């Protein structure tokens, strides 16, 4: 935060100078609000930069992929195809039995909806980190006429600086000399999966226990 003072050596309460667009990328020209006229600008207080008070948790995680054996039913084309990576399956007989050659029997639950969710992540208090800023004050809104260059402002304490006589304060640039964010430990340490897979009716497949290749060849 920047405060402009009418008295020398920051001897009065001062007025807070709002920096419009200060959240934008550092180093750009910031127009002060209000612009401080020269007869009301004898000194300036620069408060130290502050570290972020908290860490933002990562975006919501998605549940891990399902593992197991899956089946996909496709329309019958009239022939078996070579180079198929899987088992060839057919529907069981009316009595539920599997015909010879298709004795590998599998039962699958039709997946209706994946209702699983992951518990949100939370962060502990930030620790460590270093922030050192250089603040450049200008008499114009385009930041071309520099008044003061205040370098190496850390996070320890606010500092008072004198201003050139009869010079207004209209623009500011803030450049981070060191910008090393702290770290936060997750609490809890892991995200848990809640919910279940909602399944439909059971489908039975009779599958070949070995690769079957059959073509439309006249014998």
What's the confidence (pLDDT) of residue 218? 37
What's the confidence (pLDDT) of residue 83? 65
Half-sphere exposure of 49 (CA within 13 A, CB side): 24
Q: Are strands 89-90 and 159-162 parallel, antiparallel or unpaired?
A: unpaired
Domain boundaries, the chain: 2-53+129-180
Q: Tell me which residue of 130, 129, 133 sits closest to 159, measured CA to CA.
A: 133
Q: State CA 117 to chain mean position distance.
A: 18
Report d(CA 22, CA 19) in Å as an integer: 5
pTM over 0.85: no
Report d(CA 91, CA 117) in Å as an integer: 34
**Burial of residue 160, with CB atoms counted within 10 A of its CB: 0-12 exposed, 13-18 middle, 19 or more buried:** middle
What's the confidence (pLDDT) of residue 60? 74
Instruction: Answer whether 106's CB lies under 8 Å from 136's CB.
Output: no
Using 70 as the pLDDT threshold, list the residues of the chain that sit under it.
20-25, 78-84, 209-219
- Which residues contact residue 135 at a Cβ distance below 8 angstroms, ignoring those fewer than 6 apart? 2, 46, 149, 150, 153, 172, 173, 174
3-state secondary structure of 9: helix
For residue range 27-75, what is the model confidence (pLDDT) as tens digits?
Answer: 889 888 888 999 999 999 998 887 878 888 877 778 888 777 777 777 7
Q: Tell me which residue of 95, 119, 108, 23 sits closest to 68, measured CA to CA.
A: 108
Q: State CA 118 to chain mean position distance.
A: 16
Instruction: Answer whether 152's CB lies under 8 Å from 132's CB.
Output: yes
2-53+129-180 architecture in CATH? Answer: Sandwich (2.60)
What's the confidence (pLDDT) of residue 170? 94
What's the confidence (pLDDT) of residue 185? 86
């Amino acid at each position: 935060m920047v405060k402009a003072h009418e008295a020398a050596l920051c001897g009065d309460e001062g007025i807070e100078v709002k920096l419009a667009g200060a959240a934008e990328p550092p180093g750009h020209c910031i127009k002060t609000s209000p612009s401080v006229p020269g007869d009301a600008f004898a000194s300036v207080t620069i408060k130290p930069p502050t570290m972020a008070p908290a860490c933002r948790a990562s975006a919501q995680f998605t549940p891990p992929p399902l593992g197991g054996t899956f089946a996909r039913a496709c329309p019958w084309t009239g022939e078996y195809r070579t180079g198929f990576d899987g088992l060839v399956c057919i529907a069981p007989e009316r009595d539920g039995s599997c015909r010879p050659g298709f004795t590998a029997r599998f039962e699958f639950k039709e997946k209706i909806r994946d209702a699983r969710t992951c518990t949100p992540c939370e962060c502990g208090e930030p620790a460590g980190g270093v922030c050192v800023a250089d603040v450049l004050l200008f008499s114009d809104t385009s930041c071309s006429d520099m008044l003061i260059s205040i370098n190496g402002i850390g996070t320890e304490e606010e500092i008072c600086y004198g201003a050139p006589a009869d010079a207004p304060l209209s623009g500011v640039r803030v450049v981070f000399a060191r910008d090393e964010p702290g770290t936060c430990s997750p609490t809890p340490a892991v995200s848990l999966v809640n919910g279940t897979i909602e399944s439909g009716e059971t489908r039975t497949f009779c599958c070949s226990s070995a690769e079957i290749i059959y073509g439309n060849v006249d014998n």
